[in-house]
Structure 1
Amino acid sequence: MIDLNPLVTSRQWLSSPPPQAPPQERGEEYEWYAITDRLCLCAGVTYTASFRDCEDGSLATHTFAPLGLEIRGLWQLIPAEGPDGEGTGRLAIRETVDLRCGPLLAPLVESTLKNSHKTLVKRFSERVLTMGEVGFR
């Protein structure tokens, strides 16, 4: 998932959780990374994030970035609904986000997340389609 994000320029696996990691996220089921995003042509930002595969097949993430930015995310594959509300036999990706930051930063973060994750989902779908296992919209 990290490498599918168009903003990511580098990632490094962390052998131990960062100091700000909550106690419940210090277990071996959590993978921690230091990730660097390109924000513009001249600047980038490095932050830490955890990734955990959940029992139901979803992916839980928790990000700590500068300026007090904290994001919890949950990525799930769910049955897609057709125009009539009935299932189509296809799957859709649902991302649930809990974003916490200062009010002046929120519009920029929301816009950046929406744009980068739109590309991430497209890349994920393309990768799955080339595997020939699941049809995505």
Structure 2
Amino acid sequence: MVITPWDGGTKLYENSLDVRGAIHETVAANIANEETPGYRAMRLPFKEALQTAVNGGGPLQPMKTHPYHLPVIAESERQFLSVTTPLQGGGPDQNTVNLEEELTQMAENNLMYMAVAQFLAGRFDGWRSAINEGR
């Protein structure tokens, strides 16, 4: 059996980083549209998005609730739109963005991204060590 740098575990870490990047884009779009009347904050649940990434989600069209809204997710992250959901409720202007909640989501997502990146770096360090021992 040949082990490549992109075995199942490494691919899972890669997909996880992709999902964390998409979550970051979603939260950033929510923050950018904090004062846009009628904007519905979006949520990208990690578990469902990771499942989509692992199953090779195909290209989808971006969702916007108004033509003047900023994109919810970058072009490169379209595969996750099938699991992105708008939040319900809102104030008098029907905007559902809660800045404190968004900043909390951003901080949590950043921590999780860094943790996954460290795990992936550890895998590469292990391989590097194994290669250097063979010299």
User: Do they fold alike, i.e. is TM over 0.5?
Assistant: no
Structure with bigger gyration radius: 2
Higher relative contact order (CA 8 A, sep 6+): 2
The two structures have a TM-score, normalised by structure 1, of 0.29
Q: Which has the higher strand share?
A: 1
The two structures have a TM-score, normalised by structure 2, of 0.30
